[in-house]
Chain A
Amino acid sequence: MSLITALARMEAVRDRRARPVATVRHRHLSDRPLVFVPLTTAGEAGAPLGALVGTERDAPRLLVVAQPRDRDLRFAFLAELAEVVLPYVDSYADDVDLEERKETDPETGKKVPVQVELCADAPQLLVPSGAGVEFVRLLGRSMRFRRTAEQDPETPFPAPARVPLLGRWLTHYGERSRVPGSCLLQAMTDLLTRHWATGQSHLEDQHLGALLAWIDPPDGMPGDEAALRAESERDAGGQLLCPPAGPATDPAFDNKLLAPAMARYDAARMAVAGAEDGARAERHLAELHRAEAEIRELIASQMRPTWDAVWRGLDLLRALPEGARVAERWKRDRWSYTGHRDRVRAGEPPQPRVDDAVTAAQKLAARETAQAQLEAQEALDDPLVMAGRRLAGEAFAGEVAEVVMAWSETKVPRPRPLVTVRTGDRPHLAEGVKLYRVLPDGRTQTGEFAGYAEPDGPDGPADPSEPDGPAGPADPDEGAEPARPGDVPEGAEGALVVRLTGGMGRGKTPEQGSVPEPGDRVCWTLFEHAPRGGPELPDPEATPWTHGGPPEAAVAQAPDPVTEEDLL
């Protein structure tokens, strides 16, 4: 945790309420996100218990598996889930923009511009917590290798028609969520902690109810108290008033309520199966329905508070203005969605179990680049984030004290003005370090650090408007400004000289507005604004033998072996 975030957390402790750590919203939020609140059976992998899913706050679709050990019931759940999710995902597929992209012509090997489709918007999936994101991945993995009866008539336990496709989409969303700053699949706890600091630890922030209690406590209650209540208050029956956001359930709920209800359901099913005559069967059937309704009610009661919490979180986030560069990152997400849409349409096989060497390296490189871009863009969008970078010595902001025109000593002299910036920041600078700043028109200007300005040094006499001289502060309230010998490392604060090296046009004189003027406030960063990725990697088919050679396609696609009893 950086010092500035730690400070925000302590402010939150003092105020008994969350404090902002961002002044703008750094993540894209769809107008119509699909909220997915899943629950899973404790101890089982890929055995969902139920879910609330939908795009309408007031009308979630309730899906329940009354007996998670029953494969047919699980398949029915997944089929129903596909019925909700796939139409939503597909609804964004046909509204496209045309974009120009450079592609390598296979015949000439030259880069030629081609028109490609880019979906105008993309579906967005929101889950309550980080564990929910992992569960989406797991669901995707458990479904994408299933075979339907249509694909393989011989398969022993065919999956419902659209289930493998849902698995592929969930896998794609789960994979995309690992890219820093991506917004296709997001956890509400991550979204909220990105924008607010609570007076508790990062671990406790994973509890959505407690997190919301800090950010938006119920009337008249301090956030810490509300968070404590959300975390641990139980009713007379020992059940949590604010159930965990899942997908894991509270053990007390499992043991006291769910297990007996499931036992009743199982008994009713046995009775129906063993019924001897019609009248008795009907009576048992009624019992079965009652038992099923009871389980539905129980599971819904565990998910509904989380469902409401996710929407409340959305309200809070929507109240923040979107950061200027968020749309640019969302466009990458749209590319990602469009790319997968194309792969599905082209009939490509599901994503392999394990990435081949080239794909894995590509993914890692892409994530590293995305991380660097995200960090730079968040800082540029948000003065509060920039404050953290300034504290870390990775940026500095201040007032321009003086501009001295200079030119490079080349055959065609280029403008290389020297700008003196007065700042209280202490960036980690060395002679020649590259600096970047945003010009008023949005372009990036480069510069390099030329040295510390000495108060009476060679940079000429100080501007008469400057309040302070080398003799020291005239007014004690002004504080001590530049170098006080002795207690401050030499040149650690005060005035820095930046030599502008770019962004001034092609002429001998800089373009209008590209050189700051005395009195302007400027913010220079030591990090690049649009960091680029590394060199290109070969195609997977050309994987060198040092990295295992080209991948074998057949192995990756084989369905999971199924056993008669796949649960314990």
Chain B
Amino acid sequence: MAGRPARQPEAAGAGRPPRPGKALRQRLAELRGPATTPHPLDARALAALAANPGCRRRALLDGAGVDKLALAQALGSPAAFGQSQFAHQRGNTFEARVKADGGQALTRLLHERLRDGSPAPEPGTTTVPDLTAAGPQGRTARTALALREATAAGGWALLDHPMVSLDIAGSPAFLEPDAVVVHPDGSWTVIEIKSFPMVDGSADPAKVGAAARQAAVYALALDRVAALAGARVRHEVLLVCPKDFSNLPTAELVDVRKQLAVTRRQLTRLTRIEEIAATLPDGLTFDLRLADDGRTVTRPVEELRAAVDAVDAAYAPECLSACELAVHCRARCRAAGGVESLGRGVRGELGGLTTVEAVLAAALGEAADADRPAPPTGDPAVDALRRAAALRAEALRAAPAAVPAAGPAPAPGPAPEPAPAAVPGPAAGPAAVPGPAAVPGPAQGAACR
């Protein structure tokens, strides 16, 4: 736990969520809009946040509790997020079915998978404490109490939808795992119930990975409660899925040590919201200024866009499946010509070149062909690009007839405009080739069918 941001001990007491400073809370409320209720963070969002820890935009918007879906809609780039009601129904029915018998089936499944030689849970001995309380803070406190009691009792206990909290970049997030089981030895296991099938003992790795990351966030949040209760959270979570093509539950233990370490590290690295908020101009807000009907946005789009642009984003195509604002960020990234829009891996070999225009200018900077390489510029990234461009042009020239459809005639090695004789360095790249004029425009691209 060394890397975790230290919270005041009184806040950690009884598992109560930490409270951000008053000034910050006020600032976040301003950012969100004074009349707007904060949008809660869930584990899925946290797992996604941890997947892109460098994104200040997301950290701030999530931290301030801004409803990103509504924001994206107001910006005119709605994300295609949504769940089919069929999937939703199935998920709920399956979860209800798994928990139907007061946790007997779940503890039995868990015990079977543990294979640790401990005695099997006697039917009817699993306790299911009542966790109802008012508000997330109340439920968190109730959960912490129930966990302590169940640990002290030394039997099997199932906590159905407990609530735990986690401090995310300076503001609390309330999380609701599907279930937590307390073992007789005082250890706790996070239960994750998913409705994708486990066919012949294996499931879709992408989905298992997402479930493991999500469960790791829960385990992390439980860790703090466990430390106070003198218990420990097991680093293996139980993933419960339908077996094959049936509706019977089956389960596997998933070791989430790696996800735990990654999530812990990423969350501590998350730029603190205070720091981001401090760099923002005064009076900046993401308030949509909803009209009285609670739907109509009265804030001008331009203003909203400017507000969002005031915070840096770290867009990657992976965001599209994880962040509601991704379509907007992608549009901005593309408009700026950023190479990140083509994939995370692209940057690796490009050195200091960050825009498509700069890369193309550098690649086509000087007439060259494969057999007569251009003189080296001293920048390995530019040299490699030139070689790549020359080799590509040579190969396309060799087989022009064989490349039908798509696009204008294979681009010749040299740029369409006479390239300057001077070898542009990487920094001078974009400047040396006269701007977008050197790039065949959309008209040309569309005309050559």
A residues in contact (CB < 8 Å) with B: 1, 3-4, 6-20, 23-24, 41-46, 138, 141-142, 196, 199-204, 215-217, 219-224, 232, 249-252, 254-255, 259, 316, 319-321, 353-354, 382-384, 386-388, 390-391, 397-399, 422-426, 478-481, 487-488, 493, 560-563, 565-568
CB-CB contacts below 8 Å: B318-334 with A: 318, 320-321, 327, 334
Known: A391-B387, A423-B371, A424-B371. A203 touches B406 (CB 8 A): no
CB proximity of B446 to chain A, nearest CB, Å = 6
A7 lies within 8 A of B363 (CB):
yes
Known: A43-B91, A216-B405, A424-B370. A203 touches B245 (CB 8 A): no
Known: A17-B406, A18-B407, A23-B398. 13 other contacts (CB 8 A): A6-B339, A11-B360, A11-B411, A15-B408, A24-B399, A44-B86, A141-B200, A251-B83, A255-B82, A316-B405, A488-B376, A560-B246, A563-B247
Looking at the complex, which one of B242, B339, B373, B399 makes contact with A568 (CB distance below 8 Å)?
B242
11 A-B residue pairs with CB within 8 Å: A4-B392, A6-B342, A19-B406, A42-B86, A43-B195, A45-B197, A203-B320, A220-B446, A316-B405, A425-B370, A566-B245
B90 lies within 8 A of A568 (CB):
yes
B404 proximal to A (CB < 8 A):
yes
B407 lies within 8 A of A201 (CB):
no
| A387 CA / B388 CA spacing, docked (Å) | 8
B178 proximal to A (CB < 8 A):
no
| CB-based nearest A residue for B327 | A232
CB proximity of B83 to chain A, nearest CB, Å = 6
Contacts of B168 in A (CB 8 A): none
Contacts of B350 in A (CB 8 A): 6
Contacts of A568 in B (CB 8 A): 89-90, 93-94, 97, 195, 242, 247
In order of increasing CB-CB distance, the 9 nearest A-B pairs are A43-B87, A42-B84, A45-B197, A201-B317, A254-B84, A387-B391, A23-B399, A251-B82, A43-B90
CB proximity of A120 to chain B, nearest CB, Å = 27
Contacts of B356 in A (CB 8 A): 10, 13-14
| A316 CA / B403 CA spacing, docked (Å) | 11
| A4 CA / B394 CA spacing, docked (Å) | 12
CB proximity of B377 to chain A, nearest CB, Å = 10
Known: A142-B245, A232-B327, A399-B371. A200 touches B405 (CB 8 A): no
Known: A7-B385, A563-B247. A19 touches B407 (CB 8 A): yes
Known: A222-B442, A252-B82. A20 touches B406 (CB 8 A): yes
Contacts of A354 in B (CB 8 A): 200-201
CB proximity of B172 to chain A, nearest CB, Å = 30
B396 lies within 8 A of A20 (CB):
yes
B88 proximal to A (CB < 8 A):
yes
| A568 CA / B89 CA spacing, docked (Å) | 8
CB-CB contacts below 8 Å: B407-430 with A: 407-408, 410-411
Contacts of B199 in A (CB 8 A): 45, 138, 141
| A249 CA / B410 CA spacing, docked (Å) | 38
| A383 CA / B399 CA spacing, docked (Å) | 8
CB proximity of A220 to chain B, nearest CB, Å = 6
| A4 CA / B385 CA spacing, docked (Å) | 8
| A282 CA / B442 CA spacing, docked (Å) | 61
| A388 CA / B349 CA spacing, docked (Å) | 14
| Best-surrounded residue of A16, A43, A203, A397 (most CB of chain B within 10 A) | A43
CB-CB contacts below 8 Å: B351-386 with A: 356-357, 359-360, 363, 368-376, 378, 384-385
Known: A10-B360, A16-B442, A216-B406. A200 touches B373 (CB 8 A): no
| A479 CA / B374 CA spacing, docked (Å) | 7
Contacts of A8 in B (CB 8 A): 392
B373 lies within 8 A of A424 (CB):
yes
B373 lies within 8 A of A479 (CB):
yes
Known: A14-B440, A20-B396. A222 touches B446 (CB 8 A): yes
Known: A17-B445, A397-B370, A560-B246. A215 touches B375 (CB 8 A): no
A563 lies within 8 A of B248 (CB):
yes
Known: A44-B86, A204-B317, A387-B391. A23 touches B403 (CB 8 A): yes
B437 proximal to A (CB < 8 A):
no
B402 lies within 8 A of A391 (CB):
no
A20 lies within 8 A of B403 (CB):
yes
A14 lies within 8 A of B439 (CB):
yes
Looking at the complex, which one of B78, B195, B345, B405 makes contact with A319 (CB distance below 8 Å)?
B405
| Best-surrounded residue of A11, A382, A383, A388 (most CB of chain B within 10 A) | A11
| CB-based nearest A residue for B345 | A1
B389 proximal to A (CB < 8 A):
yes
B120 proximal to A (CB < 8 A):
no
B8 proximal to A (CB < 8 A):
no
| CB-based nearest B residue for A142 | B245
| A296 CA / B107 CA spacing, docked (Å) | 44
B245 lies within 8 A of A560 (CB):
yes
Known: A11-B360, A487-B376, A566-B245. A387 touches B445 (CB 8 A): no
| CB-based nearest B residue for A232 | B80
| A46 CA / B90 CA spacing, docked (Å) | 14
CB proximity of A357 to chain B, nearest CB, Å = 16
B346 proximal to A (CB < 8 A):
yes
A561 lies within 8 A of B404 (CB):
no
| A46 CA / B196 CA spacing, docked (Å) | 11
| Best-surrounded residue of A203, A220, A223, A426 (most CB of chain B within 10 A) | A203
Known: A13-B356, A16-B446, A141-B199. A320 touches B402 (CB 8 A): yes
CB proximity of A463 to chain B, nearest CB, Å = 16
CB proximity of B12 to chain A, nearest CB, Å = 39
| A562 CA / B71 CA spacing, docked (Å) | 47
B341 proximal to A (CB < 8 A):
yes
| A18 CA / B404 CA spacing, docked (Å) | 12
| A3 CA / B346 CA spacing, docked (Å) | 8
Contacts of B153 in A (CB 8 A): none
B247 lies within 8 A of A565 (CB):
yes
B317 lies within 8 A of A43 (CB):
no
CB proximity of B95 to chain A, nearest CB, Å = 10
B13 proximal to A (CB < 8 A):
no
CB proximity of B302 to chain A, nearest CB, Å = 21
Known: A13-B342, A14-B360. A561 touches B407 (CB 8 A): no
Contacts of A224 in B (CB 8 A): 334
Contacts of A6 in B (CB 8 A): 339, 342, 346, 349-350
| A43 CA / B318 CA spacing, docked (Å) | 22
Contacts of A41 in B (CB 8 A): 86
B210 proximal to A (CB < 8 A):
no
B30 proximal to A (CB < 8 A):
no
Contacts of A7 in B (CB 8 A): 359, 363, 385, 388-389, 392
Contacts of B339 in A (CB 8 A): 6, 10
CB-CB contacts below 8 Å: B248-286 with A: 248
Contacts of B363 in A (CB 8 A): 7, 10
B118 proximal to A (CB < 8 A):
no
B244 proximal to A (CB < 8 A):
yes
CB proximity of B221 to chain A, nearest CB, Å = 27
Contacts of B376 in A (CB 8 A): 487-488
B227 proximal to A (CB < 8 A):
no
| CB-based nearest A residue for B316 | A201
B385 lies within 8 A of A3 (CB):
yes
B245 lies within 8 A of A384 (CB):
no
CB-CB contacts below 8 Å: B280-318 with A: 317-318
A560 lies within 8 A of B391 (CB):
no
CB proximity of B375 to chain A, nearest CB, Å = 6
| A1 CA / B345 CA spacing, docked (Å) | 7
Taken residue by residue from 131 to 166, chain B's Cβ proximity to chain A (1 for < 8 Å, 0 otherwise) reads as: 000000000000000000000000000000000000
| A493 CA / B376 CA spacing, docked (Å) | 12
B100 proximal to A (CB < 8 A):
no
Known: A7-B392, A23-B395, A478-B372. A42 touches B405 (CB 8 A): no
Contacts of A399 in B (CB 8 A): 371
| CB-based nearest A residue for B204 | A134
| CB-based nearest A residue for B195 | A43
Contacts of A10 in B (CB 8 A): 339, 342, 356, 359-360, 363
